[in-house]
Structure 1
Amino acid sequence: MTTLVTGATGQLGRLVIDSLLARGAEPQSIVAGARDVPKAADLADRGIRVVALDYNDPATIAAAVEGVDAVLLVSGSEVGRRAAQHQAVIDAAKAAGVAKFVYTSAPKATTSDLVLAPEHKATEEAIAAAGLPAVILRNNWYTENYAADVARAAETGTVAASVGAGRVASANRADFAEAAAVVLLEDGHIGQVYELGGDVAWAYDDLAVALTEVTGRPVEYVALSSEEHGAALEAAGLDAGTAGFVTALDAGIRGGALADTDGTLARLIGRPTTPLVDGLRAIA
């Protein structure tokens, strides 16, 4: 079986390829789709076929999917443009008759109030409308998303947010990548929608404790209102639109958008997910 991994030079895509190889996939069975092909030279050196694939260029997508059996669509990073970009991959996969289409979505994408959810909802609906034999991986937050908080906590001894008592079932990016490799290589997953999260849904007080252990200095969680948070972000140099986006994300967390965990990720990968403090320590 030949598997195309889109976004192969990105952080998640590279880890998926690592996991495919670790789970026994032959290098020649993997196709790495990259917008910037030279950045994937190390993958080519490992015997992996590298092809040009730009979400904004349907011709490259059509060429990349030709002859492959399975496609992993790693969601794009250009917020506001992703639904159209993903549609181009869906259309190409349908035309090529791929046997398995895997998509990295967001938690509860079709019902969530999370500001990032609408584009994922649109993509899931497009996959269904196309009739693709699909597996939906609704990935919770990556612990690596907190890299800036690790650095800030080491400097200031605080982690500030407007999430209230909201909880986050994060896991390391490698955990989610391994789950993608599992469903790509194994039979029996088509038609499934997997809500994937870490084994523990932690609150920001727990984050402060973990940051204390990682940084070696006392770290306090400073709970802000959305208004206070937005003002602080703008004072730090963010424009109003970006500050509003961040506070909207925090509002979603405060409302429970990332709090659910039922052990599905651990069951798929056959081991516990990476604990928060270990994930943060790897970042540090």
Structure 2
Amino acid sequence: MSSLILITSANGNQGKRLVPKLLASGHHVRACVRTAASAEQLRALGAQQVLMGDLADPAFIAQAMKGVSSVYHIGPTLHQEERAMGFAMIDAAKAEGVGHFVFSSVLHAIASDLIQHEIKRDIEEHLLSSGLEYTILQPANYMLPSRMKAVFEEGVFRLAWALEKRQSMVDLGDVTEVVARVLSDPERHWGATYELVGPGRFNAYEIGAVASNVVGREIKVERFDVEVFVRERFGNLEPDALQHMLRMNLAIAAHYSNHDFVGNSNVLSFLLGRPATTFDEFVRKEYANFRKALSD
């Protein structure tokens, strides 16, 4: 029997990959987005219901929650109201009697010197205390196609923190495959907290070496200035929002410059029923897409 699943921030990195998978499994999807452009993109993917509004608005959250069986809450990371939104989503789900609340958290949410981790840790605690059936997913840093753009076009990989520090990463296709499985078989995953981590641990030089091997030429690595990046990219934000964005990004750069950010891929491979995607496989797939786009 099909179910109605609510997905927040539905046109982001996860949502636009997850929606087609849920639809293919026979679920009905209600997608929450902020803009008309995002709404159109979700409708093009086949989402039966698309709601446009602000997760900071309790009335919008209550409307979105009506009649859903499960919720997948992807908080708007780097938003200054992310904690309050997460709390409100959980409270609304409880009031509506939602059967399963799945939360997209972050690997090592206990690292409280990272502002966005502390926020997600607080939301995890609120969910644990809610009485709802829940699943918490804690992905590592995403293998993002956007980060490969400069690699393929300019021959450089750029990072915001110390180049010698290691990080674990995870493929978004793997993450959304797990999410679809969790939402399709909720009782099996009630009460679970899963770390979602791909194979390997890489510093910037090792990332550059993998990319060099794939593209067949040397890929340089560079560290960029976080404050300059944030002010250039998000300079149109309101002053308070810009300062929040700046504080969070500076905290990320500082933490990752002082500590490795690593995990273990066993749980992800167990959930997938296959080996998790490697970084080499990811780069090869993205390079093939890049070359195809050039030839089209």
Which residue of structure 1 lines up, in the alignment, with residue 275 of structure 2? 272
Aligned-partner SS, 2:92: helix
Identity across aligned pairs (percent)?
27
Aligned-partner SS, 2:141: coil
Counterparts of residues 103-182 of structure 1 (less than 5 Å)? 103-144=103-144, 147-148=146-147, 150-151=149-150, 154-155=153-154, 157=156, 159=158, 161-182=160-181
Which residue of structure 2 lines up, in the alignment, with residue 261 of structure 1? 264
Measured in 2, the distance between the counterparts of 1:25 and 1:236 equals 41
Which residue of structure 1 lines up, in the alignment, with residue 11 of structure 2? 9
State the Cα distance separating 1:198 from its structure 2 match: 0.6
Question: How many residues were matched structurally?
Answer: 274
Counterparts of residues 94-109 of structure 1 (less than 5 Å)? 94-109=94-109
Which amino acid counterpart does residue 207 of structure 2 have in structure 1? L
Give the aligned CA root-mean-square deviation in angstroms: 3.0
Contact 1:75 1:82 in 2 (8 A): yes
- CA gap of 1:256–1:20, structure 2 versus 1, over 3 A, is farther
Contact 2:265 2:276 in 1 (8 A): no
Contact 1:159 1:219 in 2 (8 A): no
Which residue of structure 2 lines up, in the alignment, with residue 19 of structure 1? 21
List alignment gaps of at least 5 residues for structure 1.
none
Give a deviation string over 1:192-215, Cα, whole Å, max 9, x none.
111111122222221011221344
Which residue of structure 1 lines up, in the alignment, with residue 254 of structure 2? 251
Contact 1:253 1:259 in 2 (8 A): no
Give a deviation string over 1:35-93, Cα, whole Å, max 9, x none.
33563345446362223342122111111111111000012134322001212211211
Measured in 1, the distance between the counterparts of 2:73 and 2:47 equals 21
- CA gap of 1:110–1:233, structure 2 versus 1, over 3 A, is closer
Contact 2:23 2:47 in 1 (8 A): no
State the Cα distance separating 1:132 from its structure 2 match: 1.9
Q: Which moved more, 1:13-22 or 1:182-191?
A: 13-22
Which amino acid counterpart does residue 203 of structure 1 have in structure 2? N
Matched, 1:39 2:58: no
State the Cα distance separating 1:171 from its structure 2 match: 1.7
Counterparts of residues 181-260 of structure 1 (less than 5 Å)? 181-186=180-185, 187-221=187-221, 230=225, 234=228, 245-256=248-259, 258-260=261-263
Measured in 2, the distance between the counterparts of 1:235 and 1:161 equals 9
TM-score by length of 1: 0.82
TM-score by length of 2: 0.79
State the Cα distance separating 1:143 from its structure 2 match: 0.8
Give a deviation string over 1:167-211, Cα, whole Å, max 9, x none.
222122221111111111113111111111112222222101122
Contact 1:153 1:159 in 2 (8 A): no
Measured in 2, the distance between the counterparts of 1:100 and 1:59 equals 21
State the Cα distance separating 1:163 from its structure 2 match: 2.8
List alignment gaps of at least 5 residues for structure 2.
236-241, 291-296
Contact 2:114 2:255 in 1 (8 A): yes
Which residue of structure 1 lines up, in the alignment, with residue 294 of structure 2? none
Which amino acid counterpart does residue 274 of structure 1 have in structure 2? T
Contact 1:40 1:50 in 2 (8 A): yes
Measured in 2, the distance between the counterparts of 1:123 and 1:53 equals 21
